[in-house]
Structure 1
Amino acid sequence: MRDDDAEMSEEQGSIQGDDEAGGVQAVDTALRVLSALIGMGAPLPLKTVAERADMQPPKAHRYLVSFCRGGLAERDPATGGYRLGPLAVRLGLAALRHLDVVQVAAPYLGHLRDELGFTAGLAVWGAAGPTFVRFEETNDALIISGRPGSVMPVLTSSTGRVFGAYMPRTVTGPFIARELAGTPHPGATPMPQRKPPTPAEVEALFTEVRQRRMARVLGDLNPGLHGLSAPVFDHADAVVGVITLMGPAGLIDTNLDGPTARVLATRAEEASRRMGWSA
């Protein structure tokens, strides 16, 4: 029996027998071929696709032929290489349209609370500015003043600083101007009475947030309560949410190179990738 015939017989057997195991091996194999095409720039030659899918070229070719017929892949007429086809693009766009940052990021709040022992919250940008929509709280005695619906200032909260660093200034500018003038947006948590930063200091603050991809405050809003915040991005590299850890001074490690910050960064990145973001 030829190798191709053996492979086809193996695949047919897998289709008949894998339902009991909860899946179809041929479909799993097909997904390996499609995955080999994801994230690639120029069309890939058959040999490269086969290598990435960890299979022999004749087997990969059969899948690619079927994918081309159905629109999941297409062959470049100039190079003969393969790339994702129009149906694959439509499927990707449909999936992105149904992504909701609250649904995607919410499970990570519980993971962070359980891993680190601190309250975790998720904020989105609302009409009044940075607005918390979900919290996963610990059972300790620390009273967190924020609740779903709480609006944070842009300049003196770690949550707001992340939004300020990444969102267009056409959106955040009016909020920043009001805070610098001492008149934050109605409904926002009042800012501490202190000398406001200069515009240059604001820009330096946002630059540091972008460099570290994280912001922190040390009791700036609530004495004794520290915060660490990291952005959640979507497929267009736009910030769509901010995950914030809150804990009492002396207990939460706010070192931006420390283990707490690393765990937060990892979870925020995982949520971003679920939203379609790629570094």
Structure 2
Amino acid sequence: MRPLDATMSEDNGSGEDEAGGVQSVDTTVRLLSALVDVGTPLSLKAVAERAEMQPPKAHRYLVSLCRSGLAERDAITGGYRLGPLAVRMGLAAIRHLNVVREAGPTLASLRDELGFTAGLAVWGAAGPTFVRFEETNDALIISGRPGSVMPILTSSTGRVFGAYLARSLTGAFIERELAGAPHPGATPTGATQRMSMQDVEALFEDVRQHRMARVQGDLNPGLHGLSAPLFDHAGAIVGVITVMGSAGLIDTRREGRNASVLAARAEEVSRRMGWGP
């Protein structure tokens, strides 16, 4: 990699600000940020406007960024876009992302903030599978352990996966549940046997519309839950965060505080995974 040239340090002599940072680096980040999420190359004027700096200054930095490979100019339009080194850096960051690691601290925060058990599930070979819990002392939740597999249609966790995953992955599970196949740990309610595929599609559409699923005793009477999806850089679902509690204690209204806090925390995790709405 060729180092950024001396034009990066022209501002304010040493380039250091009062807070102990390096202004040239801050400026570089502003310019690179201006090129992120842009589908077509940007003109110098457009880059400068997005970075909130004068075009001559932006041009000096862009020259060095192009030399380093962090940016490049389109041969036809002359516009600027992220360069091959920036792309490699982005891919390297993605490879190091792990939804369990990124979401882990959020579960404990949710439990402490809301006072209810919080769990993280991923899609496994057997379907929606919890991989981590942060529990309260609620006796109804003591059966929840890492490795627990949830149904798709009668758990809020499963409904989120059903709403966002391809039917090629979920179809067989949905068909079995509609046929009334028993699910381990579930109290039979017969609810799924009364559902049609049209009902299933409407259920999933509702989840997508609100980016959240809720159940009130659908899986186990007396146990209510709220679930929100976690997305990666490509917008694909990589996990689901669920908060759960006893009926009469947990508020599962979508306009309630629990739903609002859960949605905000799930979005924070998704952003750390590279997702942008």
Q: Normalising by the residue count of structure 2, what TM-score does the alignment of the two structures yield?
A: 0.89
- Per the alignment, do residues 7 and 157 of structure 1 end up closer, same or farther by CA in structure 2, a change over 3 Å counting? closer
Counterpart of 1:32 in structure 2 is 30
2:165 to 145, 164, 167: 167
1:155 equivalent to 2:156? Answer: no
- SS of 2:14's equivalent in the other structure is helix
In 1, distance between residues paired with 2:120 and 2:222? 21
Indicate if the aligned counterparts of 1:167 and 1:239 stay in contact, CA closer than 8 A. Answer: yes
- Per the alignment, do residues 126 and 29 of structure 1 end up closer, same or farther by CA in structure 2, a change over 3 Å counting? same
Counterpart of 1:192 in structure 2 is 188
Counterpart of 1:100 in structure 2 is 98
- Per the alignment, do residues 189 and 11 of structure 1 end up closer, same or farther by CA in structure 2, a change over 3 Å counting? farther
In 1, distance between residues paired with 2:213 and 2:200? 13
Indicate if the aligned counterparts of 1:132 and 1:150 stay in contact, CA closer than 8 A. Answer: yes
Indicate if the aligned counterparts of 2:156 and 2:213 stay in contact, CA closer than 8 A. Answer: yes
Deviation of 1:191 after TM superposition, in Å, equals 4.7
- Per the alignment, do residues 6 and 86 of structure 1 end up closer, same or farther by CA in structure 2, a change over 3 Å counting? closer
Q: Deviations for 1:173-222, whole angstroms, at most 9, x for unmatched residues?
A: 1111222222256xx43352415122222122112111111111101222
- SS of 1:265's equivalent in the other structure is helix
- Per the alignment, do residues 199 and 104 of structure 1 end up closer, same or farther by CA in structure 2, a change over 3 Å counting? same
Equivalent AA in structure 2 for residue 162 of structure 1: V
In 1, distance between residues paired with 2:260 and 2:165? 23
Counterpart of 2:203 in structure 1 is 205
Indicate if the aligned counterparts of 1:11 and 1:26 stay in contact, CA closer than 8 A. Answer: no
1:73 equivalent to 2:71? Answer: yes
Counterpart of 1:277 in structure 2 is 275
Q: Deviations for 1:101-133, whole angstroms, at most 9, x for unmatched residues?
A: 111111221221222111111000111111101
In 1, distance between residues paired with 2:70 and 2:12? 20
Deviation of 1:153 after TM superposition, in Å, equals 0.8
In 1, distance between residues paired with 2:10 and 2:30? 19
What are the residue-to-residue correspondences of 1:173-252 with 2, within 5 Å? 173-184=171-182, 188-195=184-191, 196=193, 197-252=195-250
Equivalent AA in structure 2 for residue 227 of structure 1: G
- SS of 1:13's equivalent in the other structure is coil
Q: Deviations for 1:19-78, whole angstroms, at most 9, x for unmatched residues?
A: x93x43321221111111111222222222222222222221111001111111111233
- Per the alignment, do residues 86 and 214 of structure 1 end up closer, same or farther by CA in structure 2, a change over 3 Å counting? same
2:112 to 114, 128, 140: 114
In 1, distance between residues paired with 2:12 and 2:130? 50
What are the residue-to-residue correspondences of 1:35-46 with 2, within 5 Å? 35-46=33-44
Equivalent AA in structure 2 for residue 14 of structure 1: G
- Per the alignment, do residues 6 and 177 of structure 1 end up closer, same or farther by CA in structure 2, a change over 3 Å counting? closer
Indicate if the aligned counterparts of 1:50 and 1:60 stay in contact, CA closer than 8 A. Answer: yes
CA RMSD of aligned residues (A): 2.3
In 1, distance between residues paired with 2:231 and 2:141? 29
Stretch deviating more after TM superposition (74-83 or 188-197): 188-197
| Identity of matched residues, % | 71
Equivalent AA in structure 2 for residue 94 of structure 1: A
Counterpart of 2:263 in structure 1 is 265
Deviation of 1:6 after TM superposition, in Å, equals 11
Equivalent AA in structure 2 for residue 246 of structure 1: M
Indicate if the aligned counterparts of 1:226 and 1:252 stay in contact, CA closer than 8 A. Answer: yes
Indicate if the aligned counterparts of 1:7 and 1:59 stay in contact, CA closer than 8 A. Answer: no
What are the residue-to-residue correspondences of 1:3-22 with 2, within 5 Å? 8-14=9-15, 21=20
Counterpart of 2:57 in structure 1 is 59
Counterpart of 1:88 in structure 2 is 86
- SS of 2:274's equivalent in the other structure is coil
- Report the number of matched residues: 270
In 2, distance between residues paired with 1:78 and 1:12? 36
Stretch deviating more after TM superposition (236-245 or 23-32): 23-32
- SS of 1:149's equivalent in the other structure is coil
Equivalent AA in structure 1 for residue 93 of structure 2: A
- Per the alignment, do residues 8 and 213 of structure 1 end up closer, same or farther by CA in structure 2, a change over 3 Å counting? closer
- SS of 2:15's equivalent in the other structure is helix
Q: Deviations for 1:61-96, whole angstroms, at most 9, x for unmatched residues?
A: 111001111111111233322111111111111211
